[in-house]
Each structure stands twice: as structure tokens, then as C-alpha cells.
Structure 1
Amino acid sequence: VIATKSSGDIAVIMTLLREKLVGFLRRNLLVIMTVSGVVVGVGLGMGVRNMSLTKAQMTYFAFPGEMLLRMLKMIILPLVVCSLVSGAASLDTRSLGKLGGIAVAYFLVTTLIASGIGVALAFIVKPGVGAGALNTNSLGLESVSSDKETTDSFLDLARNLFPSNLVAAAFRSVSASLHPLCSPCSWVPFGTENDGMNILGLVLFAMVFGVALRKLGDEGEELIRFFNAFNEATMVLVSWIMWYIPFGIVFLVGSKIVEMEDVVLLVTSLGKYIFASILGHIIHGGIVLPLIYFGFTRKNPFSFLSGLITPFTTAFATCSSSATLPSMIKCVEENNGVDKRISRFILPIGATVNMDGAAIFQCVAAVFIAQLNNTELNAGQIFTILVTATASSVGAAGIPAGGIITIAIILEAIGLPTNDLSLMLAVDWIVDRTTTVVNVEGDALGAGILHHINQQEMKKQQQQQDEMDKGGELSEVRVETVANIQAQEETSPLVMHKTNASEAVPEAIESVL
């Protein structure tokens, strides 16, 4: 009997364990497949690398990964515009201003901290010391130069904030280029349009347009419902695309490994730079950002981040904050319970202007190039690096190698040559992966912080409303009692002369109610 009973208990336990395991796999199937895709991609890339493929064969091999990037980029435009319009329209104007102010402060402070970490690590690790003999010729790299002034770069930022053509902003951005004026010796910068989505201008327009629809009141409700429906339909498309992500990541990662040149030479030559950049990303993403989240919410940041493994894996594989945005919005809402109004308002802005990881490697790169050219940086130049990296990261494109362009702005600001930028491009495919992960982590934790602050504000308002309701009931009873007394007085012939005074009582009752 005892043996039968114990065997029955074991069968029940095994059944429960099997159900829990099946439930866990069902809930986390996409995460497991995505992470497995990276591992399989690395193995596949190492195997195919030894086959000496031609350029055409490498293109064919990378095609499934290219399709993943194209699908993710296809969904960015409707997702950003519709989510920002519906988010800005659903929030109250006062709360919109308050949340926007907190978000801007969070983005600026975290980016400034990231810049400080990058500069400090560059001076501690000293990646450029002893590498003076290193040049682009020894690695077989082409030199990259930039003739644009720092002022022109910030003017480009302002130009992109206000696009002259919204339709063109969907596929073109403005960048200053030098043109000869009257004589070849006189060059003047003019804003010219280049290929590439102007997300910054679309973000600003969508926010302002959403606020304008909210101001319209009933007249704007139809259009708000249209954007809400468009946004929900876009999220359905995102959920479909996410099931292709594991398959696409296999070939995306594998093709990058196949395309690698002499990795040993690059790592030995630029190993200190790679180490300093990745260490900065680990410190900022693993310590600083979680501490900031814990300081605001008093909740475990790593349990929040555990629900975002799929977006982090996508960020690692694609090296694009913008391409990670669709899966980030979906996972933040479904896994972490962040309010849709908060996530769809703040995450598109963060994907555009919040670049903590980029700020770290830009500062490391600037100090690295200064050490490479045996240039001693003074306190003013270090301060310039911090401020310029923080400001220029706003205009950095959320695309692979987007941060390299902004390093030229920092170098111009401190008077260093830009012909060593090709060294950054040589190892950008390594550093850019951890850069993008830190970028999207900062966006996600910012959304979590804003969600917590919004919840606290709603609780306070609810408490105040409850107190007002209680006070309103008491005042209503008090006013009605006075009214009844005065009504009795009106029936007495002795107080008929006070009729004018008593006529104000109904108005008092009406105002209280």
C-alpha cells in the first residue's frame, strides 16, 4: 500500500513538473528560439567561413538576414508616427509636459554619466598609448575624413527637427555639404538632402500633431481613433515579424562572421579600445542604469530586464536601435505591464535621442585618437568631449555605424584630425553590438521609471478625489440642512421681508453639487 501510494505521489509530481515545463516553454518559446538563433548563427558562420565563399555567394548567404532588417525597417515609420500621435493625444497636456520633462532630464543625465564613464575608462585603460605606429595602411583600411565644422553639424540637427517636406522626411534627411561660392577658394555650407529616414523630424511632428488633436476635443476624436487603430494593426504586424526574428538572426550573425577580415590582427592592434568600450557598456548597463531604476521604483531592475531578452538579442544581432523598437514596445507592454500610453510615447523618442552606449564609445574613441596622435588633452578639451558627446548623441542615427559619424563632430570640436576614423569603422561591428544593447536598455528602463511615476501620480489623484468626495458629501448635507431651515422660516409671516436673502440658497446648493 505504501509503495502504491508513493508511486502515485511520484506520478502526480512528474505530471506537475511536465505541465510547468510545457508552460514555461510555451511562454518563453520566442526568447529561447531567438537566443538559440545567435548561438547557431555563430557556429554556422565559423563553419562557412572556412569555405572561402565569393562575394556573390556571401550575399546569397546573408539574404535571410537582410530580409529581417528590411521587415524591421519597413515597420519603423508607421510605428513611430502612429504610436507618438496616439500617445501624445491620449495623455493630458499637463501630464504630457511633466512626463516629457522627466524623460528629457533622464535622457540627458544618463547620457552625461555614460560620457563620463567613457572618458574615465579611456584615461585608465589608455588604449592609444603605445599604438602610435598603428595606421590605416598597416591594417589595409581606407582613410575616412570629414570636412564639416562642428557648427554645421548642430545646424543639421536643427534642420532635421523641422523637415520642409514630411513625405521626403520618410526617406531623406538633411546634411550640410560644402559648395564653392564665386571662387574655388570660398566654400559655404548648404543643407542638402541625403538618403536615410529623418526620424527626428517625424518624431517632433508626430508629438506636436498628437497634442493638436487633443486640443481639438470632439472634432479630433475620429482622427485619434484612426491612429489608435493604425497603431494596433501595426503591433499585430510586429507580432508576426517577431516569429521570423530567430531565423533571420541565424544568417544575420553568421554573415557578419563570414565577412570578418583578419580578426586576430584587429584585436591585437585595437584590443585595448575594444576592451575599454565594452567594459564601459557593462558598467553602465549592468550597474548604473539598474541603480537609477531601483532608486526611482524600489523594484528589482533585473526582473524587469528579464522580460526584454528578445529585444536585447535583436539589438545585438541588428546593431540598430530603430530596428529593435517594434519588439521592444511589444515586450515592454506584454511582459512588464507598462502602460501603452507611456511606452508608445517614450520609446520612439528614446530610440531617436537616447544613445547612452554610443556616448560611451564615442568618448573612448575621441580619447583613443588623441593618445594615438600623442596629444595631451587639457581640462577644457575633456569638458568639450563630455558636452559634445552628450549633445551629438541626440542626432546620432539609430542605424548600424550611426555613431561613427558623430565622432567626427567631437574630433572637430577639440581640434583633432578625423583621418583615423577608419580605425573605428574596422572594429565597429564588434563594439556596435554592445552599444545598441545599452541604448535600448536605457530606453526600456526609462519607460519603466515613467510608468512608475505615472502610477504614483494616479494614486495621489485618486486619494485626493476620495477625500474631496467625502468632503463634498459633508458639505452637501450641511447646505441642505441650512436650506430646510430657511424654507421653514419663509413660511412664517415674521420673516417674509428676508425673501431676497433666501433666494441665494439654491445657487449655493447648485454650486456645491
Structure 2
Amino acid sequence: MPLQIRRGRCTSFLRENLLTMLTVIGVVAGTLLGWGLRATGYEWSRREVMYFQYPGELFLRMLKCLIVPLLVSSIVSAIGSLDLSLSGKNVFPENIAQATIATYRTKLIYDKNDTKAIKGHLDTYKIEGDYQSGSNVLGLVCFSIVLGITLGKMGEKSRPLQNFFHCLSEAMMIITGWVIWISPLGVFFLVTAKIMEIESFQELIGRLGLYFMTVLLGLFLHGFGTLSILFILTTKKLPCRYIAKMGQVMATAFGTASSSATMPITIGCCDDMGLDPRITRFVIPIGATINMDGTALYEAVAAIFIAQLRKVEMSFGKIVAVSVTATAASIGAAGIPQAGLVTMVMVLDTVNLPAEDVSIILAVDWLLDRFRTTINVVCDALGAIIVTSLSQGDIEKSRAVQNDRELAPAHELTELEKGDH
């Protein structure tokens, strides 16, 4: 009997964690293959590296194509079903259809003919704006929140549209379940290609070694120190049990370096942990958009590191200014690989450092990007658990109201609706 129980437990464990183990194996195997191919001494061309990266890019595109329909349907469905009785121009897109394929970008242009323009001083540059390829996630989130609140206020009249978004959200999660089974293979090729692209291991380990370890130490202390303390204080539970169930999420985040691409998998993981779908479908998309704590920490450390290289004195006031700017800039960072480099320009300008100095940390940014993305998505999931814990009373009350509506005769529904208002 004990032997049968052990076999049953082993079978159950493998069934529940097979995908996670395969994804971790994909990361490790990709790293080993990348090192092995570099060790051959052959100089791999960009085209050859592209061939290795191609399957991984297909996987990444599959995940990205789910972002817009899943984000909009999840938020609208979550907010629209609630009992309502209980950073910039991208927030308000001028064209909601355009927001699905393009995002607004402010450009600082140095004009040689402008006598007031000083090269390296961003405050003297000309300000222009244009649109670049990529979904305006922040604008879509704001629109979805407003639409969800509107549907919730409309009551029974909005039921058909609520059912549509609910069905769309469920359909996207089913498709996500199919796509994530490709993640071990996709992550394997993405990691292999990145290892092959490294130009100099000497520079990676030498000059940038201490900077690299400082960022990793900061991310580790934040992820398993600060976040864990906040989690324990709010939920009165240890986070270890929940973090252990996020292996698939962390492995995918590390492989793709994109919190937006990992969002469907994060939502699925939270659903598997038994969290209320209304909370996960609201917290996770917003977290993947504006909650970039790992990126904020990385940008602050990077700015201080570059300042030290340039022999720029950093007073306490400047360090505080860098930290605040990094936090604000990270909110506007897109959830795509190496998006933090774009907002780093704003942080460097805080201590009057030239934007070109971003190139100093490029050698290790691709790897640090994966670690900070992992921290970002873990924080999103832990945040959803915290919100669920704090909202437990409202969740039970909302379920009781929903049960009353389902059991009430048709003529009593009108009275229930009036009572909500």
C-alpha cells in the first residue's frame, strides 16, 4: 500500500510539474548548447544565429499575439462582473484601434541649426512625437477599465457584452494552454541564440562583473526579502509555497525576457493556485504594464555605476533623485525585452550624464534583463495573492449576491438591481 501511494504521488507530481521541468531543462540545455557552439572556435554570423533563434521567435510571437485580446477581455470581464456597490500620453490613446498596433513615443532631437541646443543636454533638445510598432498596453488597460466600469453600471442590459468578453477571455486562456507546451522548445532556442551573440566574455566578467553581481544581489534581496516581508505582513502566510508553484512562470520570463509575453502564463498559474479569476484578470495585466520594480532597481544601480565610472560625485540628494526617477521611468517601460534601456536615458539625465553612456552596460544588459523580468512577474503574481487575501470579505459578499441573483425569480431581479444602486 505505501508503495502504491508513493507511485501515485510521484505520478501526480510529474503530471503537475512536467511542463515546468521541461522549461527549466530547456533553459539549461540552451545555455549548455550556446556555450558548446562558442567553444568550437567558429565565428557564427548573424544569419546563422538568426536560424537558431527562429523557432524561439515563433514561440515569442505566439505569446505576443495573445496579449491584446487576453488583456482587454480579461480586464473588461473582471471589472464588468464586479459588484460596484461594494504616466503620459499613452494613457489616453486618440485612436483605440491604433492602440492595438502602435504606441506613442516622445523623441528628443538635437538640432544643429538651433543655437540654443547643446549636445548632451536633453533639456535643450527639440521635442517631437511619433508612433512606433507595438501595442499601447497602457492605453488599452485604461480603456478596458473604463469599459468594464460602464458595463458594471449598466446591469442586466450589459449582460450580452459581458458574456462575450468572458467567453473571449476563456478562449484566450485555452489557446494559452496550448501555446505554453511549446515553451520548452522556444526558450531553448532563445537562450541558445543569446549565448551565441555574446561578443566578449572577458568584458562581461571583468569590468562589469561587480556591477552585474550588485544588480543580482539587489534583485535577490528585493524578490526574496522585501516582497516576502510584505507578503507575510499582509497575508500572514509564507510565500515559499506559492513561489514554488511559479516555476513555469519564472522559466518563461527568464527565457523570453518579456513580462507582457509571460502574462498569459502568469494568469494561468494564478488560476491553478485557486485565486479569484476576477482579481487575477485585473491585477496581472496592470502589473505586467506598470509594475516594473525589478527594472526600477536595475536602472538606479546602472545610473550610479555609470556615474562612478565618469567620476561624477553622487550626493545623497542625487541618489534619491535617481531612485525616484528610475521608479517613475520604469512605470512607462514597455513589457518587452530590454525596454529598460530606453527609459535609462531619462535616469541618466537626472545626474547630467550623456545618453550615449547606456552603451557601457550593453554587454550584460541582455542577461540582467532576464533576471529583472523574472522578479517583475513574480511580484505581479504575489500582488494578485495579496489582493485576494485583502479582498476575501468582498469576494464572499459578491459571491453571495451572485448566488441570490441566480436563485431569485425573474420579478425579483429588478429589486436586486435597485438595491445595488
- Matching residue of 2:33: 44
Assess if the C-alpha contact under 8 Å between 2:101 and 2:136 holds in 1.
yes
Alignment check: 8 A CA contact 1:404 1:424 kept: no
Alignment of 1:102-501 (within 5 A): 157-178=87-108, 184-185=114-115, 188-334=126-272, 336-458=273-395
Deviation (angstroms), 1:391 = 1.2
- Partner Cα separation in structure 2 for residue 436 and residue 354 of structure 1: 11
Which AA in structure 1 matches 2:37? V
| CA-to-aligned-CA distance 1:426-467 (integer Å, 9 cap, x gap) | 21111111100110111111100000111144568999xxxx
Contact 1:34/1:310 (CA < 8 Å) preserved in 2?
Answer: yes
Q: How does 1:12-51 map to 2 (within 5 A)?
A: 12-51=1-40
**One-letter amino acid matched to 1:436:** T
CA contact (8 A) 2:82 2:398 kept: no
Q: Distance in 2 between matches of 1:195 and 1:215?
A: 35
Are 2:203 and 2:363, in contact at CA under 8 Å, matched by a contact in 1?
A: no
Q: In the aligned structure 1, how far is the partner of 2:190 from the partner of 2:362?
A: 18
The Cα of 1:268 is off from its aligned counterpart by: 0.4
Q: Counterpart of 2:356 in 1: which secondary structure?
A: coil
Distance 2:39 2:241 in 1: 41
Query: How far off is 1:216 after superposition?
Result: 1.5
Structure 2 gaps of 5+ residues are 117-124, 401-421
Q: Which residue of 1 aligns with 2:408?
A: none
Q: Deviations over 1:258-291 (max 9, x none)?
A: 1111112222011111011000000000111011
Q: Distance between the aligned counterparts of 1:212 and 1:385, measured in 2?
A: 39
Runs of at least 5 residues in structure 1 that lack an aligned partner in the other structure? 1-11, 96-156, 464-513
Partner of 2:120: none
CA distance in 1, matches of 2:45, 2:330: 37
Q: Percent identity?
A: 41
Q: Is the 2:24–2:251 Cα contact (8 Å) retained in structure 1?
A: yes
Residue 180 of structure 1 and its aligned partner are, at CA, apart by 8.9
| SS class of match (1:177) | strand
Length-normalised TM-score, structure 2:
0.88
CA RMSD in angstroms comes to 2.0
1:189-218 Cα distance to aligned partner (Å, 9 max, x none):
122112222111111111111111111222
Indicate yes or no: 2:35 matched with 1:55. no
Look at both structures and tell me which one has the larger radius of gyration over its CA atoms.
1
